[in-house]
């Protein structure tokens, strides 16, 4: 059977209801046709920006999203549901969201047919002089590092904007960015993948396998990351961690000035070191940098101390979506055992406990859990590991292969895992920390890692009732 959109002398533009989906068909209009793939927070921001843009003034906009129930702006065409990626070659320009992988076969087919593939990230770099842009990437720690750089520059009197993967769409900031000194962008592999311009200052944090449920292999993932520096000139700069082999390797190929950073500690506080180095290179005084670090309260879901009650410390690290991030969190805690937990600041997310209960598990991203297993094997304070989620058996097997005699318990969901952790902690005579640091994505049981973290915090706060 031929495709329902096979030309049969149809009108210039028409929509066909086929297999319970509305499909865009046979567009022969002279109007410039623009498709926006993905209509989440970034897609909506992009749509609003393009509608006001002179360049796209007379364009015919289409919203393409896999959610058939997504709210579409009035008087705007849409193609949603399972067929949302059909007939992409009928567009003149496609703007993809980070969730629409650049190497998707449908996008690549459209590209081969002459369709221009754009993104909000590419648009931002076209509109804003690169000399203003500081880009931060890595497998983990991007948000914290970008936030710290932003705070340090702002504290020094600079006009600065924070945007990107951190949750602030770049197209929301374009007009304001034209009148600022610097823009700090958190950039993911999906935003960098087809970028043809690099920021003036590139910051590359720890690199390790990540998002292998989307990227076909580690090389594709790393190649995407290289765009943060691969288009730099000798007048640009690249900051990177010298003690991470993958980071050091990919940073070596850029043309910009390379500034290697050796962190003081091999834990999450290493991001403080590289943020400080970047800020200092831009003229921020050491006194200002120290003040920002001292007062930094951290970001939600990143070693967030939720409650200390009855000698039990509850910490939410839901943003740890891979084994290396959880390992770093455990090192950060155990290397500071002698310090007392005070308040809820990031730097005080340390504990005087001799006992650690780890809650981990979630949806699998085809990652190797050996780094987590090795950390558990090394850290004597780990008394119990509670696993839940679709990958709990895979993590359990990895831990058991380390041959460490560690107690492992499996639960159906986070609520049951929390209940088991709390029961174990109450029986312990030692000060105990319950750490939610999943080492996994959240999509098997939650909307996202924020939802997971918020549900954990609710479980904790219910203890106060």
> Along the chain (465 residues), what's the average pLDDT of each consecutive run of 10 residues?
38 45 50 95 97 93 96 95 96 94 94 97 97 94 96 98 96 96 96 95 88 70 90 96 90 91 83 97 98 92 92 94 90 64 42 82 90 90 96 95 84 97 92 96 93 97 89
CATH of domain 304-464: 3.90.190.20
Tokens 């600022």: give the residue.
Answer: 180
Per-residue burial over 388-400, b if 16 or more Cβ lie within 10 Å, else e, is: bbebbebbbebbe
Phi, psi of 64, deg, nearest 5 = -115, 115
The domain spans of the chain are 14-119, 128-295, 304-464
What pLDDT score does 349 carry?
43
What pLDDT score does 338 carry?
41
What pLDDT score does 344 carry?
40
User: Residue 93, annotated ligand binder?
Assistant: no
Distance between CA 44 and CA 299 in Å, rounded? 25
User: Residue 105, annotated ligand binder?
Assistant: no
**pTM of this structure:** 0.83
User: Residue 141, annotated ligand binder?
Assistant: yes
CB 323 within 8 A of CB 317: no
Helix ranges (H only) for 193-343 are 218-225, 245-251, 270-281, 286-295, 323-334
Q: Kindly tell me the burial class for residue 159, based on how many C-beta atoms sit within 10 Å of its own C-beta (0-12, 13-18, 19 or more).
A: middle
User: Residue 142, annotated ligand binder?
Assistant: yes
CATH of domain 14-119: 3.40.50.720
User: Residue 43, annotated ligand binder?
Assistant: no
What pLDDT score does 3 carry?
40
Between the alpha carbon of residue 208 and those of residues 212, 248, 250, 343, 396, the distances in Å are: 11, 12, 12, 32, 21
What pLDDT score does 35 carry?
98
What pLDDT score does 211 carry?
63
Domain 14-119 and domain 128-295, same fold? Reply is no
Q: Right CATH number for 128-295 from 3.20.20.70, 3.40.1190.10, 3.30.1360.120, 3.30.420.40?
A: 3.40.1190.10
Q: Where are the beta strands (DSSP E) in 187-273?
A: 201-204, 237-241, 257-261
Distance between CA 338 and CA 353 in Å, rounded? 9
For helices 392-401 and 370-378, the axis angle rounded to 10 degrees is: 50
User: Residue 178, annotated ligand binder?
Assistant: no
Name the residue among 183, 203, 180 with its Cα closest to residue 276: 203
User: Residue 255, annotated ligand binder?
Assistant: no
Neighbours of 340 (CB within 10 A): 10
């Amino acid at each position: 059977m031929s495709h329902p959109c096979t030309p049969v002398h149809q009108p210039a533009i028409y929509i066909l209801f086929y297999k319970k989906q509305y499909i865009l068909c046979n567009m022969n209009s002279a109007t410039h046709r623009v498709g926006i793939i993905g209509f989440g927070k970034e897609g909506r921001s992009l749509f609003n920006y393009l509608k006001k843009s002179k360049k796209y003034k007379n364009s015919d906009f289409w919203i393409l999203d896999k959610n058939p129930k997504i709210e579409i702006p009035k008087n705007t065409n849409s193609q949603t549901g399972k067929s949302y990626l059909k007939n992409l070659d009928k567009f003149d320009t496609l703007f993809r969201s980070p969730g629409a992988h650049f190497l998707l076969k449908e996008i690549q087919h459209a590209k081969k047919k002459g369709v221009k593939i754009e993104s909000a990230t590419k648009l931002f770099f076209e509109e804003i002089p690169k000399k203003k842009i500081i880009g931060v990437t890595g497998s983990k720690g991007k948000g914290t590092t970008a936030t710290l750089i932003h705070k340090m520059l702002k504290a020094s009197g600079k006009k600065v904007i924070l945007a990107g993967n951190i949750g602030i769409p770049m197209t929301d900031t374009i007009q304001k960015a034209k009148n600022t000194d610097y823009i700090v962008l958190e950039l993911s592999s999906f935003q960098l993948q087809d970028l043809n311009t690099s920021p003036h200052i590139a910051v590359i944090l720890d690199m390790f396998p990540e998002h292998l449920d989307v990227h076909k292999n580690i090389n594709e993932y790393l190649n995407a990351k290289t765009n943060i520096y691969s288009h730099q000139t000798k007048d640009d700069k690249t900051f990177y961690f010298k003690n991470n082999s993958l980071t050091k390797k990919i940073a070596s190929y850029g043309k910009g000035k390379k500034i290697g950073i050796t962190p003081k500690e091999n834990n999450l506080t290493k991001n403080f070191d590289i943020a400080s180095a970047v800020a200092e290179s831009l003229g921020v005084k050491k006194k200002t940098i120290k003040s920002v670090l001292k007062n930094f309260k951290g970001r939600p879901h990143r070693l967030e101390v939720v409650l200390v009650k009855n000698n039990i410390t509850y910490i939410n690290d839901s943003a740890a979506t891979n084994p290396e991030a959880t390992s770093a969190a455990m090192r950060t805690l155990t290397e500071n055992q002698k310090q007392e937990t005070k308040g809820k600041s990031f730097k005080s997310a340390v504990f005087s406990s001799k006992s650690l209960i780890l809650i981990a598990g979630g949806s699998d991203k085809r990652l190797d859990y050996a780094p987590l297993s090795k950390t558990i094997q090394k850290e004597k304070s780990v008394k119990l590991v509670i696993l839940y989620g679709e990958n709990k058996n895979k993590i359990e097997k990895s831990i058991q292969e380390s041959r460490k005699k560690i107690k492992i318990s499996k639960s159906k969901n986070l609520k049951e895992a929390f209940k088991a952790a709390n029961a174990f902690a109450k029986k312990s005579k030692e000060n105990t920390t319950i750490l939610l640091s999943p080492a996994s994505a959240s999509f098997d049981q939650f909307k996202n890692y924020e939802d997971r973290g918020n549900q954990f915090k609710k479980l904790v706060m219910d203890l106060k009732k």
